[in-house]
Amino acid sequence: MGIDVINDSHCHFFSAGFFTTLTRQRQLPDTAEDVCRELGWDPPGTPEALADRWVAELDAHGVTRAAIIASVPGDEESVGIAAARHPSRLVPFSMVDPSGDTPVDRVRRAVAELGVRAICLFPAMHHVPLGDERTMRVIESAVGEHSGVAVFVHCGVLTVGVRKRLNLASRFDLQLGDPLAVARLAMAFPTVPFVIPHFGAGRLREALMAADACPNIHFDTSSSNGWIRYTPGLTLRDVFAAALAVVGPRRLLFGTDSSFFPRGWQRAVYDQQKAIFSELGVSDEDQSLVFGGNFDRLFPISGGG
């Protein structure tokens, strides 16, 4: 039994730009190297060098393609450079803050010039409701003339490990990450794929309701899904069983939430999820969709080789 292709729909691209943005938020003059030394992580170097490292890491684990998320607003250039260097391996996603400076222009450029394939919204982090006009404008500018751009919306509980490690305050408004608000957007943009990571990160029931109502809503399976502890007795196996029953195998995207080096690609997440699929008796064909096929369908390799 086997799945031929593994694609990871959720990795973070912790570029030098990412670290210097965190540094600025701490109001310290540290460089990316300083921050990485403090964290015990490898400094990323240039976007090209980090892209090469990612591809070597994917090779080491037999992973074909990965989405790489620019994980602070304004860092879309880093993932654009990385994906231009390895167009058949890396798929650029970018975090967008609809309350930031000229987000519409940024998004247009990110999509049209840098080849960004998904914009990532974190309403709880940016304090912009999903129904807000600013959110709508950002989505319109992303998907406008460029069919195929997806919208990723983080819902539920949100913790950013690196912010904790650096003692950066995270005043996230957790009320804003409601999957039912994603359903409203998904209905307004019925041809646009929406992705809710981590099964809604604690909002499983609402995420299932939203995806049941909207055929363009997908889930990514990424991370350790530690939110399951908010529902006593719930296991990750139960979560997969429910998602398969309600959403089906065509709208689940495998992901790990891998981010920094030297830790690299989070093989344990894959092993755990693969074991759950086997326990549930999911066919090889359906597993192939979740672990690779769905990602290739949503994010086909674009021109440039």
Determine the residue with CB nearest Zn ion: 257
Stretch in the footprint of Zn ion (CB under 5 A) among 17-25, 85-93, 252-260, 261-269: 252-260
Alpha helix (H) residue ranges in the chain: 16-26, 32-39, 47-61, 76-85, 103-112, 123-126, 133-143, 161-165, 179-188, 204-213, 236-246, 267-279, 284-288, 294-298
| Residue position matching structure tokens 């967008």 | 96
Shortest spacing between CB 176 and Zn ion, in angstroms: 17
Minimum CB distance to Zn ion smaller for 57 or for 257: 257
Minimum CB distance to Zn ion smaller for 73 or for 286: 73
Q: Are 163 and 122 in contact (CB under 8 A)?
A: no
Please list, residue by residue across 199-223, b when 16 or more beta carbons sit within 10 angstroms of its beta carbon and e when fewer do: bbbbbbebbbbbbeebebbbbbbbb
Shortest spacing between CB 145 and Zn ion, in angstroms: 28
- Distance between CA 41 and CA 198 in Å, rounded? 25
Stretch in the footprint of Zn ion (CB under 5 A) among 44-52, 118-126, 250-258, 288-296: 250-258
Stretch in the footprint of Zn ion (CB under 5 A) among 95-103, 145-153, 255-263, 294-302: 255-263
Shortest spacing between CB 279 and Zn ion, in angstroms: 25
Shortest spacing between CB 213 and Zn ion, in angstroms: 25
Among 75, 206, 257, 286, binds Zn ion (CB under 5 A): 257
- Distance between CA 245 and CA 289 in Å, rounded? 15
Shortest spacing between CB 11 and Zn ion, in angstroms: 8
Minimum CB distance to Zn ion smaller for 161 or for 285: 161
Minimum CB distance to Zn ion smaller for 8 or for 257: 257
Shortest spacing between CB 266 and Zn ion, in angstroms: 11
Minimum CB distance to Zn ion smaller for 206 or for 257: 257
Shortest spacing between CB 60 and Zn ion, in angstroms: 21
Shortest spacing between CB 228 and Zn ion, in angstroms: 16
Stretch in the footprint of Zn ion (CB under 5 A) among 33-41, 114-122, 251-259, 270-278: 251-259
- Distance between CA 281 and CA 9 in Å, rounded? 23
Total residues at interface with Zn ion (CB under 5 A): 1
**How many other C-beta atoms lie within 10 A of the C-beta of residue 188?**
12
- Distance between CA 49 and CA 53 in Å, rounded? 6
Minimum CB distance to Zn ion smaller for 178 or for 257: 257
State which of positions 204-243 bind Zn ion (CB under 5 A).
Answer: none
Could you tell me the CA-to-CA distances from 294 to 22, 85, 212 in Å, in that order? Answer: 33, 23, 18
Minimum CB distance to Zn ion smaller for 97 or for 257: 257
**How many other C-beta atoms lie within 10 A of the C-beta of residue 170?**
11
Bridge partners of residue 220, in order along the sequence: 253
For residue 41, give both structure tokens.
Answer: 């992580």
Stretch in the footprint of Zn ion (CB under 5 A) among 101-109, 143-151, 256-264, 275-283: 256-264
3-class DSSP assignment, residue 164? helix
Minimum CB distance to Zn ion smaller for 141 or for 260: 260
Footprint of Zn ion (CB under 5 A): 257
